[in-house]
Each structure stands twice: as C-alpha cells, then as structure tokens.
Structure 1
C-alpha cells in the first residue's frame, strides 16, 4: 500500500493531472457568476467596515487595492455594496487606484463598469486616467476598441483633450494615426471650435495633417 493517498477530486468530476495518468490541459476560465461577485462584495465590505471601526485605515486601503487587482467583473457589485453601506468615499478611492492600473487593465475595469450600466463611474475612471503618459493612453484606447467599447474609447479621448495640450494630443495620435486622428478631431470639435483649430495646427506641426 502506498504511504500516502493522493487527494481525490470533488464528486462528479473526472480525476486530472499526472498523478492520475491524465495530462493536464489548459482550461479557459469561466465567467464570474453574479452570485459569486455579490458574495465577494459582501465579504469585502464587511471586512472594510471592521477595519474602519478599528481605525486601521492603512489595512482598509490595502483591502481596496486588493479589490482593484481582482476580477474586473466583481467591481460593479462591490460598488453597489459600498454605496449601500454608506462607504461611497471608499469607492472613489478604489476608482482612483484603478486609474493607475496598466492600460489593458484600466480598459478592462472601464469596460466592466460600462457593461454593468455604471457609465458615470466609467467616465470618472477615464477622466482620472488621462494624466498618464500618452503611450499608455494609446494602449488603453486600443484595448477598449478591441473589447468593443468604442464609446468609452471616445470618452477617454474627450477627457484627454479637456486637460492635456494639443501638442500632447498630436503625440498621442502618432501612436495610431489612422484610428486616433479622426477620433481626436471629432472629440475636439465637440468641445469647441477653437480646440479643433489648435489640434489641427498641432497635427500639421507634427507632420500628421495628411494622416
């Protein structure tokens, strides 16, 4: 008899892995069920309330950062739970932390919020994200388009034009002229005719007017 017995799989599942003589194959992750997201949100808010009541603000902030690094599909449920518990300020903090995420991750969070109907949260996240380098913003736009979130990509460019210079916009456009220049022109014209002219001048100086 062997000295140890391998852990058996859960009932109703086939044994997998080399110890059972089965080669492990990569399996695509399942979408996050709504019930699981709601349960995770409830647990997070309960833990956050305990930490806040004990004055452990540093650990509370760490918990929010951990939530940001989790599945983006969980965040809409967490937003609802935080507001229900009167912790809207913590949700604002979480959005600020999300704005610092890498471009693809930022796009994933924005897309999850948009898909859940939290358009205001999505736009707030995108506004806070426009301070990052233009190369990263170009990556975020590309990621949003790749996921079919064209409206959110346009919102990101509009927020960018409201706080950054036309020269910055020209640098951004250089990352993907064929895609970004028309979108930047549309966004600038919607903000003001003067901004549209300033953007056109910056594109000419950068040699992108004919792109």
Structure 2
C-alpha cells in the first residue's frame, strides 16, 4: 500500500467545488467479490432511515455478540465469520454500539475483522459508518475503516465518487476523497480520474489541496503525466 499520512482522515472539508451533474458512467462496472456493489448508491430518497438505539437494538446487539462468543468457544470459525459479515451490513448507527459490545466481550480480533468487512460497503454507507464511529469518540476506528475502504482499485473509487456526485452527496464525496488522496500515491489517485475526468479531476485536486500544498502539486504532476488537464 502507498505511504500513509498520519493526519486524521474524517475532517471538516476545505473548499470543495460544487458537485456537477454526473454523466452516465462509461466502461465496465467495478469487478471483484470483495467490492461487489462498491460503486452502487441508492436512488434519491431511498436511504434507509436512521434506526434509534433503543432497548430492542441494544438487546439484539448484545445477543448477537453473545452468539459470536459462543461460536468462537465451540471452534465454529466459519459460522463466526458469517456473523461478522452480516454485522458489517448493519445500519451505521449500530457500529459504536457494536464496538462497545465487542470490547466488553474481549473480541478485539473480531472487531478488526468486522471493520475490514465493512470497508467493502458501498461508498455512502462506508462514510456513514466512519462518521458514526468518529461521533462516538472512536476516531481511530473511523479512520481505519476509511483507509481500508479506499484500498479498492482506482477505477472503482472513481466510479463510486461519480455515483455519489449524481446523488448530490457532498459530504460523502469529500470524506471519501480526503481519505483517498491521503492513503494512495498520487499516481494511483490520478488513475481514478479515468471514469469521468471533467468531474473527478477538480474534486481530486480540491481534496489534495486540503491535505497539503505538496500533495496537491504531486497530484497535479501525476494527472498531467496520466494525460489529464490539471
């Protein structure tokens, strides 16, 4: 993986260009089992409503973690992993509660696996999970899930951002690209502009400028080498 900067990932955005309307995506859809659906975003108005962390939600979380503990104690590794995969798709506002229950149960390794599985979520849900963790005081976990999430291929990042742009999801675009330009080498970031240079190049440059002048100019150079106007 490329060199990582150590500044926090989930930060208030610097000035970011207004999101333009995205054209129809060209080329092949993102491929790969781990990132299946990574570039897909729900249609406008189709977001799942936030689920309040009421007593029923807390009870369900505690019972699920207890099941995981039992499966681990019985050596049923495959079934335990299946539970983690299912938990990775729970609503974003459940992640802080899951973190607390995993910590209480001493399931540190399973929590790391859960974050790894969640890093393959579609971009909007990935950012929502990271935001929920940061808001609950678990900034390191929020940073980790974003860093792992942007490890997917450059073309998939570009396609995911175009999908978010089409939905006008400014917050998600900013958070995803902020993490991306911090974690990935400028040459890799430049390749992510291929699905839609007219939209992606200005957004990538704005994100890089928010990191540092050096990162911005490195990306300008990489984009020019890749044949994109910057």
TM value normalised by structure 1: 0.70
1:130 to 150, 154, 165: 150
2:52 alignment counterpart? 33
Distance 1:142 1:181 in 2: 18
Q: Does 1:119 align with 2:119?
A: no
Q: Does 1:182 align with 2:206?
A: yes
Matches within 5 A, 1:38-49: 38-49=58-69
Runs of 5+ unmatched residues, structure 2 = 1-45
Residue matched to 2:130 = 110
For 2:148 and 2:74, the matched residues in 1 are separated by 30
Could you say what the CA RMSD is over the residues aligned between the two structures, in angstroms?
2.9
Once the two structures are superposed, what CA deviation does each residue of 1:169-202 show, in whole Å capped at 9, x if it has no partner? 112243522222121233253xxx3x55432221
**CA 91–75 in structure 1, closer or farther in 2 if over 3 Å, else same:** same
- 2:95 counterpart (56, 75, 88): 75
Q: Does 1:205 align with 2:225?
A: yes
List structure 1 segments (4+ residues) > 6 angstroms apart after TM superposition. Answer: none
Greater helix content: 1
For 2:202 and 2:226, the matched residues in 1 are separated by 15
8 Å CA contact 2:96, 2:132 repeated in 1: yes
Equivalenced residue count is: 177
Q: Distance in 2 between matches of 1:186 and 1:30?
A: 31
- State the alpha-carbon separation in 1 of the partners of residues 210 and 49 from structure 2: 38
SS in 1 for 2:90: coil
Separation in structure 1 between the aligned mates of residue 190 and residue 50 of structure 2, nearest angstrom = 38
TM-score by length of 2: 0.65
| Shift of residue 90, structure 1, vs aligned partner | 0.8
8 Å contact from structure 1 (residues 134, 172) kept in 2: yes
1:167, distance to aligned residue in structure 2 (A): 2.0
